[in-house]
Amino acid sequence: MKKNKIAFQGEQGAYSHIACQVLFKDAVIKACPTFEETFRTAYDDENYKIIVPIENSLAGRIADIHYLLPKYKLQIYTEHFQVVEHNLLVKKNADLKDIKYVRSHAQAIDQCQNIIQKYKFETIISADTAGSAKELSKSEDKSIAAIASKLSAKIYDLKILMENIEDESQNVTRFLIMGKKVKQPEYQKDKKYITTCIFRVKSVYAALYKCLGGFATNQVNLTKLESFSVKNTFDQTNFYLDVEGHIEQIQVQKALEELGFHTQSLNILGVYESSAFRQKK
């Protein structure tokens, strides 16, 4: 059987890697140093899918992703909500009394302030959580700890000194699984769907109001609407939009038709099943 080929940003042991393991058993993985390279991998090779974080329940949206979505126009196949559990990792021969510094991604540092302040650790910012664990594994310095996943501890042969050290227990990251091939599930009445698009409004009065009017008149619910500026400009804005429903549903079609009439550009990024995680909330 042909194995899935999956790319993600970060070192092995990253939370994207954990999401990959949950969704794709025994996949061929490619760890990319940047989000740009991650997207380019699937753009250049349609046999690759990518797993990318789009937003976090505590930190908000992942800004880099919003700029790469319209650039590469990959298709969204599904969404996945992954609980993020931070752990304090140390060398096998280190104890709490040895630790003076803690290294991790800036967001992980921010999300574990209670522990950091309690023990008066000095912080070292790294490119990603798993990368901080990898760097620690190469060092002989017992005074440095890393904040990363349990998978990172296993991969890099580190000791888990403390588990689940995040300040907020409900820390969840939403991931998108994307690829170059255009495909979408057939509409089934007993299932829930999300349709995602990116659009740019025309430079006229009340442009956004007109764009969104069709969703109100056709009773289509918006689950997310975010604006982000077009690079190198201050006067143009793109909008990322998630709506409940499948593009084959007539009310969704009518709403998108009206949206298209009032926009300068409109790209449908995907139609996919709504995650069961949404129904738990």
H helices of the chain, in order, are 15-23, 35-44, 63-72, 106-111, 113-118, 129-138, 150-155, 207-217, 250-261, 276-280
The CATH fold of domain 193-280: Alpha-Beta Plaits (3.30.70)
Question: Rounded to the nearest 5°, which phi and psi values hold at 98?
Answer: -85, -20
Query: What's the pTM value of the predicted model, to 2 decimals?
Result: 0.92
CA atoms 193, 256, 216, 239: torsion sign: positive
> Which pLDDT belongs to residue 26?
87
Instruction: Report the first-to-last Cα separation within the chain, whole angstroms.
Output: 37
Q: Which residues lie below 8 Å from residue 101, measured CB to CB, with a gap of 6+?
A: 121, 122, 123, 124, 143, 144, 145
Identify the CATH number of the domain defined by range 87-162.
3.40.190.10
- Per-block mean pLDDT, blocks of 10 residues, the chain (281 long): 90 96 94 97 97 91 89 96 96 96 95 96 95 96 97 97 92 96 94 96 86 96 90 76 97 96 94 90 55
Domains 5-83+172-179 and 193-280 alike in fold: no
Q: What does the radius of gyration of the chain's CA atoms come to, in whole angstroms?
A: 21
The CATH fold of domain 5-83+172-179: D-Maltodextrin-Binding Protein; domain 2 (3.40.190)
Residues 56 and 171 sit within 8 Å (Cβ to Cβ): yes
User: Where along the chain do its domains lie?
Assistant: 5-83+172-179, 87-162, 193-280
Task: Output the CA–CA distances (angstroms, integers) from residue 207 to 174, 259, 272, in the order listed.
Answer: 29, 10, 28
CA atoms 124, 130, 134, 137: torsion sign: positive
Please write the tens of the pLDDT for every residue from 180-193.
999 999 999 999 99
Exposed/middle/buried for residue 211 (C-beta within 10 Å: 0-12, 13-18, 19+): buried
- Give percent above pLDDT 70 in the chain: 97
Minimal CA–CA distance to 55: which of 174, 157, 139? 174
